[in-house]
Structure 1
């Protein structure tokens, strides 16, 4: 990224934070949280920062204008200690990350490719570089459809948390991540003390881990079905659904062939599985992107979504952080994308005028460089 583009992003980010600094509200007990920052677009994270109060944190943000801001899911006795074992973790929010699935088939206008070996690029779909024959990297910007699918997974997660685990809905906070998906935070007291192993069990439950086809067939053949002493946890969750599917057919469970039973098992897993990132949830020392902060992968904001707004909020419009003032960019390559209620592109080797929010998006994605106003 050229220095002129870095300076452009810094100006726009500062303007946003100056006007919206009160949107940056860390979780409770700020004195017990570790903070992390990317002060440059490239380079390592500055970790182990801590603040005594919200005013001190806000001053740091306005002085440094970080590209990304993170805060620990955990509370520590000594959050600024660089030795993780000496921080003395006392509790940690449950944190879930759901990203939009990678793109499938696309039209030429919605896709672009780049060859990391020879530097060639183009707007059509190419699996191999026509210049050197190397495998290409697909450039596909997140779409409304992908985010809708990610939202379905998020709603499945909320349902499991509140129905199966008994989490109060008021303790479940939902956010658009600012780029490709959604974050879910749980701050109910008894869940904040679950160990790493306990969090792994939650992950297994959500991802449907630990099932055995032979065991399911044995349950059916033995007529055990759903006696409480026979099934619990993830097995009860999935096998219950399989039994419901078989019951809806009107035949006795034993009358179903093995192939049909296993097909229903596959369907039940697909229906119930919640596609979270397991590493994020298991790691109690994980740093979460700060709510209200800019995601430098897109220039959009990590935005809180109220439960009754899950279907009315349009992330690609409502999480836009910048104005519609026109900026000039030199765009190397960019497929067609939607942002701020408008459609842009496709572009290839073009100098174009774009509103600030779309200009920031292109520069953050590394697809173009800032020229001027």
Structure 2
């Protein structure tokens, strides 16, 4: 059962995110002034969209003031990205985006959890699964490089997947929905389990590297060569220890970290792990030091 109020839950989550965002660095595109930015805030439903930032410092100030749950920029480039209507944004072109998700690639063991106040479904995030998804991202990278001759970056989403991003200019940015669908089809024929709709959509949003994924508390990261899936490599909170109160009796090993929980019995674990469990709804963080 939950012991804190929704506002108390938001307060401690915001406090933890603020620890990181007070000095965080973000990897934003050079043409950031042409991008639409979008945020999900902790204390309201839906997204704040159609925002434009001209400089990194302007963007950082917004983040520090608002402490978002999730943050994105558009694959599309616009002359007027802050306009509310798409027709008024004046589309200039879009990057090419591919999405790979663990739910489509791994055979996750879904656990049903229930107590007096709530029920939820949990699927453990294993090292084996993330390595399997990353292997497909590398296969996709080779197709982009060898078959299309395009430049790319691989992003870990901060939760259960990867994005492969082709930063487009000239002809690549002008690809139509139909042409993007043909590319997605070609990639899928090679056995790569991408989400076709993500690739087709010229207005898609992508998570900002350097931000936290509000579903897991892990960093959205540009992967250079070796990807090592662990809390030590993917969380900025490894130096803190948290007091965590589980809602359910459960034994799990997210990212290889073994956790044994007894409902309503507090445990002390690294904040990186506690935040993951907290955001997955498996319990709540009481305090951290």
Fold conserved between structures, TM > 0.5: yes
1:15-60 CA-to-partner distances (Å, cap 9, x unmatched) read 101122xx21311211111000011166101111111211111110
Q: Name the CA shift for 1:346/1:66 in 2 (closer, same or farther; >3 Å).
A: same
2:231/2:238 contact within 8 Å kept: no
* Secondary structure, counterpart of 1:203 in structure 2: helix
Q: Name the CA shift for 1:77/1:332 in 2 (closer, same or farther; >3 Å).
A: same
RMSD: 2.2
Aligned equivalents of 1:41 and 1:160: distance in 2?
42
Q: 2:226 aligns with which of 305, 309, 312?
A: 309
**Displacement of 1:92 after TM fit?**
0.8
Aligned equivalents of 2:287 and 2:33: distance in 1?
41
1:116-151 CA-to-partner distances (Å, cap 9, x unmatched) read 9x8676xxxxxxxxxxxxxxx641221111111101
* Secondary structure, counterpart of 2:64 in structure 1: helix
The question of 1:175 aligning with 2:155 is answered yes
Q: 1:85 aligns with which of 87, 90, 97?
A: 87
Structure 1 residue aligned with 2:269: 354
Is there any run of 5+ residues in structure 1 with no aligned partner, and where? Answer: 122-136, 209-271
Structure with greater proportional strand content: 2
Aligned equivalents of 1:364 and 1:88: distance in 2?
38
Structure 2 residue aligned with 1:164: 147
**Counterparts of residues 53-72 of structure 1 (less than 5 Å):** 53-72=55-74
Larger radius of gyration: 1
Aligned equivalents of 2:286 and 2:117: distance in 1?
22
**Counterparts of residues 1-373 of structure 1 (less than 5 Å):** 2-20=6-24, 23-40=25-42, 43-101=45-103, 104=107, 106=109, 112-114=111-113, 138-167=121-150, 171-189=151-169, 190-208=171-189, 272-306=190-224, 308-310=225-227, 313-333=228-248, 334-339=250-255, 342-373=257-288
* Secondary structure, counterpart of 1:276 in structure 2: coil
Is there any run of 5+ residues in structure 2 with no aligned partner, and where? Answer: none
Structure with greater proportional helix content: 1
2:98/2:195 contact within 8 Å kept: yes
Q: Name the CA shift for 1:317/1:54 in 2 (closer, same or farther; >3 Å).
A: same
Q: Name the CA shift for 1:315/1:95 in 2 (closer, same or farther; >3 Å).
A: farther
Q: Name the CA shift for 1:337/1:191 in 2 (closer, same or farther; >3 Å).
A: same
2:246/2:261 contact within 8 Å kept: no
Q: Name the CA shift for 1:120/1:290 in 2 (closer, same or farther; >3 Å).
A: closer
Aligned equivalents of 1:326 and 1:316: distance in 2?
13
1:46-90 CA-to-partner distances (Å, cap 9, x unmatched) read 111111211111110111111111000111011001101211110
* Secondary structure, counterpart of 1:73 in structure 2: strand
Structure-1-length-normalised TM-score: 0.70
**Displacement of 1:113 after TM fit?**
1.2
* Secondary structure, counterpart of 2:87 in structure 1: helix
1:280/1:286 contact within 8 Å kept: yes
**Displacement of 1:347 after TM fit?**
4.2
Q: Name the CA shift for 1:41/1:289 in 2 (closer, same or farther; >3 Å).
A: farther
2:69/2:212 contact within 8 Å kept: yes
Aligned equivalents of 1:295 and 1:13: distance in 2?
10
